[in-house]
Amino acid sequence: MSNIKTMLPITQKSSRHRLDGLEKMAFQHPSDLAMLSRLERVPLLPSLIDKFMGVVEKSFVDEMLGRSFHVTQKSLPKLYSLFLQACDCLCLDSLPLLYVQQNPQMNAMAWGGDRPYIFFYSGLIDALWKERIR
């Protein structure tokens, strides 16, 4: 994974509010955390879930990658620059891969354990472009 600090120009780093100390646990509901804790204590269940999710993740990501366009500095520089700014605001140490899929719906999703991916539908980008991405 690429390091965000080496890719984002200094001028963009200073122009945004950073959410230092943001932890993923802050977005998990206490009931979900309690259930996860109980499930993790069931013998063999965590390893079975890991294996199952590995197969599901590979299948899902392969399907999404086959229908999506990889966003880079060269392919879509304005969108990629906004993506870098968002990653900097979230204080990410490394960059997920960003993809856009041709689809009129306004939707986005993140997926991945070891290798995170972000997928945007073009309908969402079109709507945001009119408001923010000029």
Q: Which pLDDT tens digit goes with each residue over 64-73? A: 889 999 999 9
Task: Please state the rounded mean pLDDT for residues 123-129.
Answer: 88
Q: Establish if 5 belongs to a structural domain.
A: no
Question: Which pLDDT belongs to residue 14?
Answer: 42
Q: Establish if 105 belongs to a structural domain.
A: yes
Question: Which pLDDT belongs to residue 15?
Answer: 60
In terms of residue numbers, what domain contains 112? 19-131
Q: Establish if 9 belongs to a structural domain.
A: no
Our count of domains for the chain comes to 1
- b/e per residue 92-119 (b: at least 16 CB within 10 A): beebbbbbbbeeeeeeeeeeeeeeebbb
pTM over 0.75: no
107 or 11, greater pLDDT = 107
